[in-house]
């Protein structure tokens, strides 16, 4: 992606390309982003099935049913993906959908 941006900027500017600057400066934006990224990853807390499905206590039954139907359709397709990360996320969501359906509409 960066090669594409560099080539576009070269072709649009019409001048010689500038020497690449070192990204290892102490105060560069890249360093700030890299330092803050691991801290954000550690704070991740597990979400409840309600939060995962986007269901609030004030939602009527028909709206809950429509939301669960939409989510099931979306994540059921992803459950057969070749990407392991996507498959795992889909499995987690499908489990949350089943829990919410049983909670609000009884056992299946």
Residue extents of the structural domains in the chain = 49-105
Express each pLDDT in 14-73 by its tens digit: 555 555 555 455 556 556 555 655 555 555 667 888 888 889 889 999 999 999 999 999
3-state secondary structure the chain: CHHHHHHHHHHHHCCCCCCCCCCCCCCCHHHHHHHHHHHHHHCCCCCCHHHHHCCCCCCCHHHHHHHHHHHHHHHHHHCCCCCHHHHHHHHHHHHHHHHHHHHHHCCC
Confidence of residue 9 (pLDDT cuts 50, 70, 90): low
Express each pLDDT in 63-106 by its tens digit: 999 999 999 999 999 898 899 999 999 999 999 999 999 998 88
Whole-number pLDDT of residue 23: 47
- In this prediction the pTM is 0.57
């Amino acid at each position: 992606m960066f090669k594409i941006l560099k080539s576009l900027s070269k072709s649009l500017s019409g001048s010689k390309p500038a020497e690449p600057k070192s990204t290892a400066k102490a105060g560069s934006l890249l360093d700030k982003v890299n330092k803050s990224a691991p801290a954000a990853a550690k704070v991740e807390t597990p979400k409840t099935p309600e939060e995962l499905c986007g269901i609030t206590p004030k939602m009527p039954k028909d709206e809950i049913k429509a939301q669960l139907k939409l989510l099931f359709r979306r994540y059921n397709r992803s459950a057969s993906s070749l990407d392991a990360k996507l498959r795992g996320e889909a499995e987690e969501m499908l489990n949350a959908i089943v829990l919410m359906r049983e909670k609000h509409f009884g056992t299946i």
